[in-house]
Structure 1
Amino acid sequence: MIRVFKVKEQQKEATENAKGSPIKKQSVGELRLHKDISELNLPNGCKISFVNGKDDLMNFEVSIQPDEGYYLGGKFVFNFNAPSIYPHEAPKVKCKTKVYHPNIDLEGNVCLNILREDWKPVLNINTIIYGLFHLFTQPDHEDPLNQEAATVLRDNPKMFANSV
């Protein structure tokens, strides 16, 4: 029985070598990301791009151009880095664009509950993108990462509008 298994393994290797490079096995995270990306239904003003090519699904960028609110007319780019154990762990998301926002600090860290304590494996990339989009249409001063921006938004919305 072991001999049969060994022969089959050798045949498989020979077939892979004959075709060129061996087929890379995908991690569970890559398989899930492939599914998430194929099912994307992005809001207007959002785009996804694979800066390392389509072979690297674990790292990509999302650009958001809000169609209303304080950030109308702006373009904000986010880096997504999904761990190999995705969806059991949320992707790391950073804003590449400097922005004055209550939920995004000056280093680009994002305060979005579904990226932290409210993450569940049933959530997906589409959910995160909609969450980010929502931060631009309705910034949340009650759960801030940038305390100063949150205070200005809460106490003086007109001044906040002039600052963004």
Structure 2
Amino acid sequence: MSRASVEQLIKSQLADKEISDLDQKEIITHYLTAYATEKERTKVEMTVDFFPSEISDEGTAENDTYSVIKWVKGIAADLGLGFGWAALYFSVFTAWWGGITPGKKLCGLRVVKLDNSPLTLWESFGRYGGYGAGLATGLLGFLQIYWDPNRQAIQDKISETLVLDVRRQAVK
């Protein structure tokens, strides 16, 4: 609303009142000052709601860059594949299917304890926690299978397990 429109509105409200011209001018000045102050405050609040980079050409060029990692993260977020689902997958399948997850079944692998007892749900969850340790070591926890004499990764050391290739035939 323009200042002239606001002034006209105030004058129309004061027209039927018995107020002196001096008092009317004082009231109009007071309300116009308040209107200008409120308009300026609203203008400042509106400019805080966004960042200039969101509307500039540089900001859109950065956001339009294609990234495979962002794409995979987006799909994982859309499907709800976060920490909770991964923990459920690695813990429940490993415990209930005798050390096999669907991925291990496809690759012909099986997780067994060193004493050949079945993994409990809690032990499977502990083994899943070892994946975090593998990531925290800069993936060295996973790569240690290449120099470890028992070919155990960090999650296997933590949970006292081995990963066996069940496709291989036993040597006679």
The TM tier, using the shorter chain, reads: under 0.3
Which has the larger strand fraction?
1
Q: TM-score, normalised by structure 2?
A: 0.27
Structure number with the bigger relative contact order (C-alpha 8 A, sep ≥ 6) is 1
Decide which structure has the larger Cα Rg and report it: 2
Q: TM-score, normalised by structure 1?
A: 0.27
Which has the larger helix fraction?
2
